[in-house]
Amino acid sequence: MPNQLHGKKYRAAEKNRDVAATYPPKAALEIVKKAAFAKFDESVEIAVRLGVDPTHADQAIRGTVVLPAGTGKKVRVLVIATGDKAKEAEAAGADMVGAEDYVTKIKEGFLDFDVLIATPDQMGKLGALGKVLGPRGLMPNPKAGTVTMDVTRAVRETKAGKIEFRVDKAGNVQAAIGKVSFEINALETNFTAFMDQIVRMKPASSKGVYIRNVSISSSMGPGVKIDPNPYR
């Protein structure tokens, strides 16, 4: 009986893969590209189920990775800094640079940016904006490399394809690793970089199987399972 929870295009896309099978990364990515049916350039999204307990601080996986082939998305970067660090941010390609002026604008509702980078001395000014920035994932954080004195590196890496990820309460990590318009080799390179970083971050206290399941999909398409054994 057809799945009535999804439209005809989704159900047709499902037929491109065996729901019970797991695939090598390249084959899975080829299926995702073939199955994409939206009229826009869908993101290619990865979901990894980890064998961790996020309630333990040392197992609350959170980090960043620079995707070698980029994200396919224009990232608007705001840097909160003053003096020479502000000049460095501008030279590195930040879209917006300021301090008190942008803090005031954010308080008034300005959120037209994708990543917020700040020097440590400016974080005191941003503390009062936690309720605005936090829920949107925009609050700068040292673990994400967005609280730093090396603003040049932070801006350039963000523009080049740096993404942030974190494990959710159920032990899942999800991220977009490119667009369906990317060549297969570019998507495979980004996939490998992401998985390598996840594997490197395995907590010493994590017992049993660390990488439990891996799947990829386009924004609107069905998931395709990837064989997790090479990453265990």
Domain check: are 53 and 40 in the same one?
yes
Q: Which domain-ending residue is among 142, 159, 176?
A: 159
138 vs 54, 111, 182, CA distance in Å?
Answer: 21, 9, 27
Length of the chain, please?
232
* pLDDT above 90: residue 12: no
* pLDDT above 70: residue 1: no
Instruction: Answer whether 0.75 is exceeded by the pTM.
Output: yes
Domain check: are 168 and 62 in the same one?
yes
Q: Which pLDDT tens digit goes with each residue over 51-75?
A: 999 999 999 999 999 999 999 999 9
Domain check: are 84 and 149 in the same one?
yes
Domain check: are 169 and 125 in the same one?
no
CB 197 within 8 A of CB 63: yes
CA torsion 119-120-121-127 (nearest 10°) is 100
Other beta carbons within 10 Å of 143: 12
180 vs 31, 33, 71, 222, 223, CA distance in Å?
Answer: 11, 5, 11, 13, 14
Domain check: are 62 and 87 in the same one?
no
CB 91 within 8 A of CB 126: no
Q: Which residue has the tokens 């399972």?
A: 225
Pairing of strands 96-98, 172-179: unpaired
Q: Which domain-ending residue is among 130, 159, 188?
A: 159
**What range defines the domain where residue 147 resides?**
77-159
Q: Which residue has the tokens 């049993």?
A: 208
Other beta carbons within 10 Å of 45: 18
Spatial separation of the C-alpha atoms in residues 68 and 110, rounded to whole Å: 31
- pLDDT level of residue 77 (50, 70, 90 thresholds): very high
Mean per-residue pLDDT for 164-186? 96
In 170-185, which positions are buried (b, 16+ CB within 10 angstroms) versus exposed (e)? ebebebbbbbbebeee
**CA dihedral for 62, 68, 71, 77, sign (positive or negative):** positive
**Total domains, the chain:** 2
pLDDT of residue 4: 52
Spatial separation of the C-alpha atoms in residues 111 and 226, rounded to whole Å: 36
Question: Can you tell me whether residue 37 is helix, strand or coil?
Answer: coil
Question: Can you tell me whether residue 222 is helix, strand or coil?
Answer: coil
Q: Is residue 1 part of a domain?
A: no
Q: What is the CATH number of the domain that holds 210?
A: 3.30.190.20
Q: Is residue 3 part of a domain?
A: no
Q: Which pLDDT tens digit goes with each residue over 25-44?
A: 999 999 999 989 999 999 99
Domain check: are 147 and 196 in the same one?
no
